[in-house]
Amino acid sequence: MRLKKHFCGAILVVGFGFCKAQVINIEGKRFLKDTNGFVGKADFNFNINQNTQKVLLLGANVHLQYKHNRHRLLAISDLSLIKAGDKDFVNSGYQHLRYSYKLNKYWAWESFIQTQYNKVLLLDRRYLAGMGPRFKVIKQPKVACFVACLYMYEYLSQNNDSIHRFNNRLSAYSTFHLDLNKVDFNTTVFYQPNMANLGDYRIAVDSALELDIIKQLYYKAGLNLLYDTRQPLRVPALTYLVRNGIGLKF
């Protein structure tokens, strides 16, 4: 019971910001700035709460982008830890590097590499490398939609290194953003099948909604969902996080 209280307190502090699925949504992390040069941000969090148990919260996120004419380079590093006593409630992180070359008004060619781990979901490490085209369906001030289908090579080690797999996968996704006067909505849906075994696939959804109630009061909701047909033992095929809240604008 005491451990549950510590965990609830930790979750309130970080606002669910450290809960991550195994499929990382890079679409939600792209900078919209189209001018040449560098842009970036960095966030660091460190909290310790000691009473009957020690609760440790640690987070670090570095997000950089460089753009020069048709070339764009995006680099992200994200680490998260929530630990109460000797138990990890969140212990995950990833590093992602992506290069994009704009071919014309609608098409871009992208390549990426990524490293990732998630100890709670028994993912010891995953290495990805891939490339493929990205197509702009529409991009207007109020609405934007992109689709892509990339090839990626995957190596993963799970369940304390007892499972090793090398896979050739497709990573197909669509991303949609709607920004109206009182509604801001964005969603990205991923489908990642194993090219050698179509019964081995992942479906991931990352959605967020912000709705103005009155001038300064708004409602926000979010969904992070992952369905993976090849999870290790004791990890359910379907994992998800639903977020709801109310905020004030000043």
| CATH hierarchy code of domain 2-248 | 2.40.160
Measure the CA–CA gap between 125 and 24, rounded to whole angstroms.
14
The pLDDT assigned to 9 comes to: 41
H/E stretch holding 162: none
The encoded tokens of residue 191 equal: 């489908």
Phi–psi pair at 14, nearest 5 degrees: -90, -5
Measure the CA–CA gap between 20 and 85, rounded to whole angstroms.
21
All structural domains of the chain with their residue ranges: 2-248
Q: What is the pTM of this model?
A: 0.79
**DSSP states along 202-248:** EEEEEEEEEEESSSSEEEEEEEEEEEETTPPTTS-SEEEEEEEEEEE
Are residues 64 and 75 in contact, defined by beta-carbon separation less than 8 angstroms?
yes
> At 6, is the secondary structure helix, strand, or coil?
helix
pLDDT values of the chain reduced to their tens digit, one per residue, 250 residues: 444 444 444 333 333 333 445 678 877 777 766 788 999 989 888 888 887 778 888 899 899 999 999 999 999 999 988 888 778 878 889 999 999 999 999 999 999 999 999 888 788 899 999 999 999 999 998 999 999 999 999 998 877 667 788 999 999 999 999 998 889 999 999 999 999 999 999 999 999 999 998 878 999 999 999 999 988 777 889 989 898 998 887 7
Phi–psi pair at 160, nearest 5 degrees: 55, 45
Measure the CA–CA gap between 65 and 30, rounded to whole angstroms.
8
For residue 182, CA distances in Å to 79, 186, 212, 243, 247 come to: 33, 14, 5, 19, 14
The encoded tokens of residue 60 equal: 């670090």
Measure the CA–CA gap between 225 and 189, rounded to whole angstroms.
10
For residue 2, CA distances in Å to 6, 51, 88 come to: 6, 10, 15
